Amino acid sequence: MGSILHANARSKQQYQLSFTMLEFRTQGFNGYAVKYSPFVDSRIAVASGANFGLVGNGRLYILGLTAKGIVAEKWFDTQDSLYDLAWAESHENQCVVATGDGSIKLFDITLDQFPVQSWQEHKREVYAVHWNLVAKDTFCSSSWDGTIKIWSPHRADSLVTLPTHSCTYSASFSPHSPSILSSVSSDSHLRLFDLRAPASAANHLTASIPLHTAPNNNNNNNGQHHHHHGAMPPSEALTHDWNKYRPQLIAAAGVDRLVRVFDIRNPSQGPVAVLPGHGYAVRKVAWSPHLGDVVLSASYDMTCRVWTDGSALGVDGEQQQQQQGLPEGSNGRAGADSLAVGGGRELGRMGRHTEFVMGVDWCLFGAEGWCASVGWDERLLVWDVRQVMGR
């Protein structure tokens, strides 16, 4: 880990030798989201906006990883900024995007220029789109207008509208159920919806979890005692993600810089893990598709960081720490932050972006550590998380 974390103290040439990275420049467009294709291991899509997404056009890039680097296979320009994207789970050549004018557009990358479908129901910017990973025939969107909508690519109108009454930056279907979805909003709450529940009861809402709830002291499995923990002030939540292996766990983060992990089976207990370290707001979190305890984050502090939530540091915890070159009982950082809960810690970081990092995604195929990140520095970076972990 040290060879990467202290790379700034070395020459640029030494750094390049120690860290393999591919780069693509999204010239004139600032990146907002990146997603690997679930069908083609060498294909990546990037959603972006001109002028930092504040005013002007958007562009969807379809990029290919080749032996000669990253190449643009195609791109689609839109009239407004693109804030998120999702590959269709039912069609390998289709991709849906969230736009600043409130519309949602579906593109077929084998066609030119125009979307094959467009929907205009949201009244404000659409900030998230996410495909149903189980049923594969629907996707959801969330907006600053305080609603989540569920769509079919074959229907002209939305299927369901779920009110959140709060600017909703992130919405997602559970990867473990076709009918459960979640969101985080500017009101500092994580909401859970079950489409099987009666709509008349609470618009399918089954739980509303305050993200700023004080952790239960019993959640600390690292032998430390945290008597000083109190509830944090509410702050805008910008991102969340479902754990791919443990259906009960969701990671969430936002303006207060903390990555939190919640067990939705017991929503009143507060977070089971709190991971402090980022210097500014956390814009994106993504659980590893390969390791059940590892989560990746992207932040306005211009870094991507990889964490363990602490769940793998049970009986073999000390042995794992020794293998990673850490002293026994260490949490992986000198002067452990007193906000840490649950025994999790930072495993490493990547600091090559020079502006806000807005999006990260893991590659589903091949070696377990490859990921991609995009930021306002007009760059897509493809890199191996294992290298920043010092493995």
Strands 180-185 and 168-173: antiparallel
SS3 label, residue 237: strand
Q: How far apart are CA 307 and CA 294, in angstroms?
A: 6
**What is the value of pTM for the model shown?**
0.89
Rounded distance between C-alpha atoms, residue 335 and residue 317, angstroms: 19
Confidence (pLDDT) at 230 = 60
Query: Could you tell me if 190 and 182 are in contact, meaning their C-beta atoms sit under 8 angstroms apart?
Result: yes
The angle formed by the CA atoms of residues 93, 96 and 100, to the nearest 5 degrees, is 150
How many other β-carbons are positioned within 10 Å of the β-carbon of residue 67?
4
β-sheet with 282-287: strand ranges across: 282-287, 294-299, 304-308, 345-350
pLDDT by residue for the chain (391 residues), tens only, comes to 333 333 333 333 333 335 789 999 999 999 999 999 999 999 999 999 999 999 999 999 999 999 999 999 999 999 999 999 999 999 999 999 999 999 999 999 999 889 999 999 999 999 999 999 999 999 999 999 999 999 999 999 999 999 999 999 999 999 999 999 999 999 999 999 999 998 887 899 999 999 999 988 655 444 444 444 567 899 999 999 999 999 999 999 999 999 999 999 998 999 999 999 999 999 999 999 999 999 999 999 999 999 999 998 753 444 344 344 333 333 334 334 678 899 999 999 999 999 999 999 999 998 889 999 999 999 999 999 999 986 4
Contact 290, 311 (CB under 8 A): no
